Amino acid sequence: MEDQKNRPHRASKEKKKQQGDRNPKAFSFANPGRLAKTAARSHDIKEKRLHVPQVDRLPEEPPPRLVTIVGPPGVGKTTLLKSLVKRYAKETLSDPQGPITVVTSKRQRLTFVECPNELEAMVDLSKVADIVLLMIDGNFGFEMETMEFLNILSSSGMPGNVFGILTHLDLFRKPQTLKDAKKRLKNRFWSELYQGAHLFYLSGVINGRYPDREIHNLSRFISVMKNPRPLIWRNTHPYTIIDSFRDITHPTKIEEDEKCDRTVVLSGYLRGTNFAAQGQRVHIPGLGDYTVSNMEALPDPCPTPFMDQAIAKASGKTGRRRLDEKEKKLHAPMSDKSGLKIDGDTIWITREKGFNFDKEAEDGERGEGEEMIVGLQGERRLLGETEEGVRLFSNGETIKSLPQDDSGRKHPRSARFVDGDQASDAEMYEDDESVSGGELGSDDEAEITEDKLGKAFRKDEDKPGGDVEFADSDSDLGSISGDDFDGEDDSDFDDEEGAARWKQNMLETARKLHNQKRSYRTADLAKLMYDESLTPTEVLQRWRGEIEEEEENIEDSDDEGEFFKKTGREDADKFMEDRAIPILDYEELESKWSVEDNIEQLRQRFATADLLKEKANGSGSDDEDGEGDEEEDEDDEGDGEFQDLETGEEHKAEQPDDIEAEREKNARRKEELKLRFEEEDREGFNNDKANARREAGGDDEFGEDEWYDAQKAQIQKQLDINKAEYENLDENQRISVEGYRAGMYAKIVIEGVASEFVTRFNPRMPIIVGGLTPTEDRFGFVQVKIKRHRWHKKILKTNDPLIISLGWRRFQTLPIYSTSDNRTRNRMLKYTPEHMHCFGTFYGPFIAPNTGFSCYQSFSNKNPGFRIAATGTVMTVDESSETVKKLKLTGTPYKIYKNTAFIKDMFNTSLEIAKFEGASIKTVSGIRGQIKRALAKPEGYFRATFEDKILMSDIVFLRAWYPIKPHRFYNPVTNLIGWEGMRLTGEVRRDQNLPTPQQKNSLYKPVERVTRHFNPLRVPRALAAELPYKSQIVQMKKQGKQTYMQKRAVVVGGEEKKARDLMQKLMTLRNEKVAKRKAANEKRREVYRKKVSENEEKRGEREKKEKQEYWRKEGKKRRADTDGGGGGKRRK
């Protein structure tokens, strides 16, 4: 190494020390084009997020999300439904029908509905579905039902969750063919829906269900989905899908008349907005418009574990912490759940081996139900009756005879009514009592409280006493007064002492039992204010609790019978309590509260309260607060200078002697104003200052993102205010004010339903009850923008019957199509235009603008083509319509002057002519004119002027516009009770085999035109002489003598005559030979044609047999794995 002679290495460059300045190369962009695209894409995504904020009407305990399974027949809808139910509920349904609700997680439920292969059901379910599982036969491809449902969804409102499911993938033999089919169907599905739509794959059926792993993946994906943005129609209307149906018509009415109108009860989970407590107008698609006669909230038949824990907490019982196998609930009243099926008033119990038991057989143990059926089978005895006696329970004693005991009552016990004031007091105290119980999760503690659950889930010891108490004797009622009488013998007291004892000191006893403070409640103040027997001072004193309400002493009454006697006043009071708006004497109230002193006393309580004193004394008891209110009212104004906004009176402050005292008063005044501002701010963004700021354009101070967040915050704050207000109300009061909320399980009573609805009830057809707004009960002319669907074969014609699905309704009407002429008029069109929108006007219910709809010519399944005729949106609704039709009147002249002519055959009377004076007219040749005046005689003739002289052969046209109105035809599609729509005249003639009448003027006739002879053109000689040489008219005189060529004659003779004769004979012989040869060839061809036709027939028969054999084998292959799967009917 030391002897190395080569050149040494080059020394490395010294690195520059960092000076602290920014290196521009380190922070530059590598690809500016890609940067621009990325920025544009991120901005697009951000803009797509920003939309008009909508009010989220989903309650804390939302209704189950509706999952609709849609597909053509034979694609595997029932098999998928069975598999999903087995996955979620661990139960097997042999014949699933109607909505099926399952619990999927702690706070989520799903309702599965299988859509039948009926267009009416597809239209109805598209309006309520939250999640759509679109099933596609992977071996066959897309079918007409799939494309129809996608187009129906696009018109009624596309839900955020639409998934495709490919089935029958096990029929592909080659993996490459399967891969190509998946790719092709995925691209087609994406083009119809949107890029990136989810597509699931299901292979063959195993034991009547799809593979567990594939169903597990699908169910996990459905369970973790978030709620998409609500659709406008569902977010503004209440609706429910019915999962149980019952006919409650009195049996005697049905016996008298089987076709009498029925009263039915429909039950289901409420969705959308709130149902009105009384008089809610609803529409049942396929049935008609009805008014809900009665509505009642029922216990949730399929509650979530979160709801169970809340109930357990309120009732004092411990609930489960997780969703284990025992908690996986299933609610399927129309299906045969565990061999039990509810069909109206009938309950069907199904057993695989039947119920024919052998009573003497002792080979196996029987359950209690089987023993009961064995006992009832073949015997005409009562339940539990044997030869020895009656025994109702297996471990009970046999009753042989009834003991004769003289003790006890010989008449039914009577009811004693608790004093109304005392009952209301006790009930008032117990309404505010908080109940402790099992604990929930920390995040769910405050969401469901006892007030929301109502009185049904309270502890037994916290339930308030009712108005009616029953007991075997009056002395038994003494046990409800408290613990002082426990253990005593009630038989030592007579009826009068027992009746008096339980009513003694009931208010004090309730306070001791519950240890509850008397709270100030707005509901109590409202009742006291409208009590005509009280003065304003007494109202405030009673509300504060300074004086107790007078109790009626029933014992002082001499006549005991008057205790049970109800007066008309009590009935009226009971009626008024149930009303949301009480019936009062408003004139007397007006005179009572128009007195200045009364108003001033009320204002001192609400407008000028000393909030600082209340805040300082807030920790004290309610009784102390009630006693000190009078003193506070005397000095409510504060010490500062301010102006009363109610009266406009200015209050001047006294000049203090000490500056420190003045500062203290100012600080006190600011603190009081601050507290008042906080009180006003509880109203949220709807207070006066916020409204004034918005009217003055105060929203401009927000930025682009801040404005959107401010709108969402405003909506959320208003929701919180509403929630806080409603939570203070009792459950009945809240329902009367707010209505029946979404998420409740309620029963709806409908009266006057056609009997065919009950007799033709099909549980597979979905029943939807959709609420109507007051505007939607009105009818008029609806103007829409409509476009014929590009896949519909027939063009649409004006005044042809068309079925329109608009809102909840499906009805048949007669639309008129029109277009806009330069935005001046709507001109009627006889047919819809090709590939473009036009206007349409029809008679129907009023619907909000921008509502989508779809049109159909027929709902029949016999139509092989695409059944959606048109789609569109509503533009305006009005009581009248402005559509005009072009009217062309014709006339002919009967006298012609220079520029004036008399026209006939256009009008009949002078009055008609007077309406069209000054109108423009035109001849066929294009000469324009104007109508002047009507002639005196003959009637209907008029004088007109033209820009040039017209001819007698001219036809005069008048183009006018005639207003037309659509027919007031509205025919709701009542397919649930049987419906037949209006048919075209041609359809009626075809169905009844009637010939089409021939009108004489409508027949085509041969056109016979008379030859017209025109006079020759004669030019005067003087004019002809002045013409230039090139334009002079040259006329040849007729030749007087015949020319040589005309005079000569040709005569054949000699050799030429013989040659012509010979050629004629030869041609005759040749023609005869050719004819004979042609006939012979035709005979040979006839034999050949016959042979060819026979071969064609044989080949056709052979191909037909081969085709039948092929499809027979193919059908066996397809049915091999679907046996027992319940896949439904296969396609033909």
The pLDDT tens digits for 285-316 are 999 999 999 999 998 888 888 887 777 777 76
What's residue 587's pLDDT? 73
**Cα separation values, 333 from 117, 330, 352, 623, Å:** 22, 9, 20, 54
What's residue 473's pLDDT? 38
- Tell me the percentage of the chain whose pLDDT exceeds 70: 67
What's residue 923's pLDDT? 94
What's residue 677's pLDDT? 60
pLDDT digits (tens, 9 = 90+) for 601-621: 777 665 544 444 444 444 444
pLDDT digits (tens, 9 = 90+) for 440-477: 444 444 444 444 444 444 444 444 444 444 444 343 44
* Other Cβ atoms closer than 10 A to 395: 5
- Non-local (6+) Cβ contacts of 212 within 8 A are 87
* Residues 79/83/84/90 CA torsion (nearest 10 deg): 140
Q: How many angstroms separate the CA atoms of 678 and 1053, rounded?
A: 139
Given a cut of 90, is residue 488 above it in pLDDT? Answer: no
Query: How would residue 342 be classed by pLDDT, with cut points 50, 70 and 90?
Result: low
Tokens of 654: 């006294």
DSSP state of 162: E
What's residue 504's pLDDT? 58
Asked if the peptide bond before residue 24 counts as cis, ω within 30 degrees of 0, the response is no
Question: pLDDT: is 587 or 938 the higher one?
Answer: 938
Among 528, 485, 531, residue whose Cα is nearest residue 506:
485
> What is the Cβ-side half-sphere exposure of residue 174, based on CA atoms within 13 angstroms?
4
What is the mean predicted confidence (pLDDT) over 415-425? 42
Residue with tokens 């006079």: 1015
Q: Which amino acid is present at 286?
A: G
Lowest mean pLDDT among 9-23, 591-605, 608-622: 608-622
Class of domain 773-881: mainly beta
What's residue 13's pLDDT? 72
Q: How many angstroms separate the CA atoms of 381 and 933, rounded?
A: 102
What's residue 660's pLDDT? 80
Q: Is the pTM of this model over 0.75?
A: no
What's residue 237's pLDDT? 92
Among 139, 140, 127, 192, residue whose Cα is nearest residue 164:
192
Class of domain 65-235: alpha beta
Among 449, 497, 442, 450, residue whose Cα is nearest residue 474:
497
Q: How many angstroms separate the CA atoms of 39 and 769, rounded?
A: 48
Domains 65-235 and 773-881 share a fold: no
What's residue 754's pLDDT? 92
What's residue 506's pLDDT? 60
Are residues 252 and 277 in contact, defined by beta-carbon separation less than 8 angstroms? no
Q: How many angstroms separate the CA atoms of 690 and 681, rounded?
A: 10
> What is the Cβ-side half-sphere exposure of residue 874, based on CA atoms within 13 angstroms?
22
Among 1114, 1121, 1124, residue whose Cα is nearest residue 204:
1121
Query: How would residue 1085 be classed by pLDDT, with cut points 50, 70 and 90?
Result: very high
Question: pLDDT: is 1124 or 85 the higher one?
Answer: 85
Strand runs labelled E in 579-714: 642-643, 650-651
Query: How would residue 383 be classed by pLDDT, with cut points 50, 70 and 90?
Result: low
Are residues 647 and 604 in contact, defined by beta-carbon separation less than 8 angstroms? no
Given a cut of 60, is residue 1081 above it in pLDDT? Answer: yes
Q: Are strands 838-845 and 971-972 parallel, antiparallel or unpaired?
A: unpaired
Given a cut of 90, is residue 573 above it in pLDDT? Answer: no
Given a cut of 90, is residue 496 above it in pLDDT? Answer: no
Among 804, 810, 782, 770, residue whose Cα is nearest residue 290:
770
**Cα separation values, 637 from 678, 799, 914, Å:** 18, 74, 80
Query: How would residue 583 be classed by pLDDT, with cut points 50, 70 and 90?
Result: low
Count Cβ neighbours within 10 Å for each residue of 11-31 and write b for 16 or more, e otherwise.
Answer: eeeeeeeeeeeeeeeeeeeee
CA 27 to chain centre: 55
Among 938, 803, 939, residue whose Cα is nearest residue 868:
803
Q: How many angstroms separate the CA atoms of 533 and 539, rounded?
A: 10
What is the mean predicted confidence (pLDDT) over 353-371? 59
Given a cut of 60, is residue 1083 above it in pLDDT? Answer: yes
Task: Report the mean per-residue pLDDT for the chain.
Answer: 76
Residue with tokens 């009997």: 755
Tokens of 449: 């409280």
Give the residues across from 343 on adjacent strands: 346
What's residue 808's pLDDT? 93
Angle at 520 between CA 419 and CA 685, to 5 degrees: 135
Given a cut of 60, is residue 699 above it in pLDDT? Answer: no
731's enclosing H/E stretch is: helix 731-738
Residue with tokens 């091999």: 1120
What is the mean predicted confidence (pLDDT) over 693-713? 61
339's enclosing H/E stretch is: none
Tokens of 60: 């804390």
pLDDT digits (tens, 9 = 90+) for 49-84: 677 777 777 777 889 999 999 999 989 889 999 999
What is the mean predicted confidence (pLDDT) over 373-399? 61
Q: How many angstroms separate the CA atoms of 1057 and 1054, rounded?
A: 6
What's residue 539's pLDDT? 77
What's residue 310's pLDDT? 79
Lowest mean pLDDT among 239-243, 470-474, 1026-1030: 470-474
Q: How many angstroms separate the CA atoms of 847 and 813, rounded?
A: 15
Among 804, 855, 796, residue whose Cα is nearest residue 829:
796
What is the mean predicted confidence (pLDDT) over 787-809? 93
Question: pLDDT: is 436 or 39 the higher one?
Answer: 39
Q: Which of 36-40, 574-578, 662-666, 1044-1048 has the highest mean pLDDT?
A: 36-40
**Cα separation values, 551 from 419, 421, 548, 557, Å:** 8, 7, 9, 14
pLDDT digits (tens, 9 = 90+) for 724-757: 888 888 888 888 888 898 988 999 999 999 999 9
Given a cut of 70, is residue 319 above it in pLDDT? Answer: no
Given a cut of 50, is residue 789 above it in pLDDT? Answer: yes
Given a cut of 80, is residue 95 above it in pLDDT? Answer: yes
What's residue 669's pLDDT? 79
**Cα separation values, 348 from 85, 90, 102, 368, 1009, Å:** 21, 22, 22, 18, 83
Question: pLDDT: is 1060 or 422 the higher one?
Answer: 1060
Number of helices (H) and strands (E), helices first, in the chain?
Answer: 31, 35
> What is the Cβ-side half-sphere exposure of residue 995, based on CA atoms within 13 angstroms?
3
Sign of CA dihedral 192, 198, 199, 202: negative
Question: pLDDT: is 497 or 831 the higher one?
Answer: 831
Strand runs labelled E in 861-919: 868-878, 883-896, 900-904
Lowest mean pLDDT among 281-295, 580-594, 642-656, 695-709: 642-656
Among 1130, 1128, 1124, residue whose Cα is nearest residue 77:
1128
* Residues 422/425/430/433 CA torsion (nearest 10 deg): -150
Lowest mean pLDDT among 152-161, 252-261, 486-495: 486-495
Given a cut of 50, is residue 567 above it in pLDDT? Answer: no
Query: How would residue 904 be classed by pLDDT, with cut points 50, 70 and 90?
Result: very high
* Other Cβ atoms closer than 10 A to 583: 9
The domain spans of the chain are 65-235, 533-548+586-604, 609-617+661-681, 773-881
pLDDT digits (tens, 9 = 90+) for 168-204: 888 888 888 888 888 899 988 888 888 888 899 888 7
3-state secondary structure of 495: helix
What is the mean predicted confidence (pLDDT) over 151-159? 88
Given a cut of 90, is residue 649 above it in pLDDT? Answer: no
Whole-number CA gyration radius for the chain: 46
Among 272, 238, 219, 251, residue whose Cα is nearest residue 86:
219
Query: How would residue 721 be classed by pLDDT, with cut points 50, 70 and 90?
Result: confident
* Other Cβ atoms closer than 10 A to 398: 11
